[in-house]
Amino acid sequence: MSSLAGPEEEPINRALPMADLSGIDAALPHGEQALREALKKVRAADVGRDLSRRSVEQSHRLVCATDERSAALMLRSAHPVVAANVLSRCAPDHSVRVLEFLPINKQMAILNYFQPDAREKVHADLDAADRRNIQKLLALSPS
C-alpha cells in the first residue's frame, strides 16, 4: 500500500563519484609548480568538465601547466566554446600540439569557435592532412 505522504526519496546513485577538485582550487593562487603537482592528482577529463566554471585566465593556466596530451584530454571533455577561448590565448604552436592529440571532429568543433585571424594562425601550423580534413568539415553547413 502506498502512504499518503508519498514515496521516500532515495539518494541518486552515480556511476562515477563527483571529482574532488579542491586541490586545484587551492593550488591556483600559488606558483605553476604547485599547480602541476595538483593536476597530477586528478583526471584531466574531470578538470576539463570543470573549465566552464572557471575564468579564461584560470583555464589557460591549467592547460599550460600540463603536457599537451593531458591538455588535450581536458579540452576534449570541455565545451568547444570554452576550449576555443582557452586555446586562442595560447601560442599557435602550442595550440597545434594540443589539437594534434584530438580527433578531427573535435579539432573542427573547437576551431569553429576561434576568431578568424587566430584560426588562420593555427591552420598555418597544422599538418597538411589535418588542415584539409578540417577545411572540408568547416565548409559543411551546420545541421
Mean pLDDT, to the nearest integer, of 116-136? 77
pLDDT of residue 104: 85
Query: In the structure grid, which three cell numbers stand for residue 15, read together?
Result: 556511476
pLDDT-derived band at 20 (thresholds 50, 70, 90) equals: confident
Choice among 7-16, 21-30, 48-57, 97-106 with the minimum mean pLDDT: 7-16
pLDDT-derived band at 138 (thresholds 50, 70, 90) equals: confident
pLDDT of residue 26: 93
In 10 A of CB 123, how many CB atoms? 17
DSSP assignment of 92-132: HHHHHHHHTTS-HHHHHHHHTTS-HHHHHHHHHHS-HHHHH
- CB 110, CB 140: distance < 8 Å: no
DSSP assignment of the chain: ---TT-PPPPPPP-SSPPP--HHHHHHTTS-HHHHHHHHTTS-HHHHHHHGGGS-HHHHHHHHHTS-HHHHHHHHHHS-HHHHHHHHTTS-HHHHHHHHTTS-HHHHHHHHTTS-HHHHHHHHHHS-HHHHHHHHHHHHSPP-
pLDDT-derived band at 12 (thresholds 50, 70, 90) equals: low
pLDDT of residue 9: 72
d(CA 106, CA 26): 30
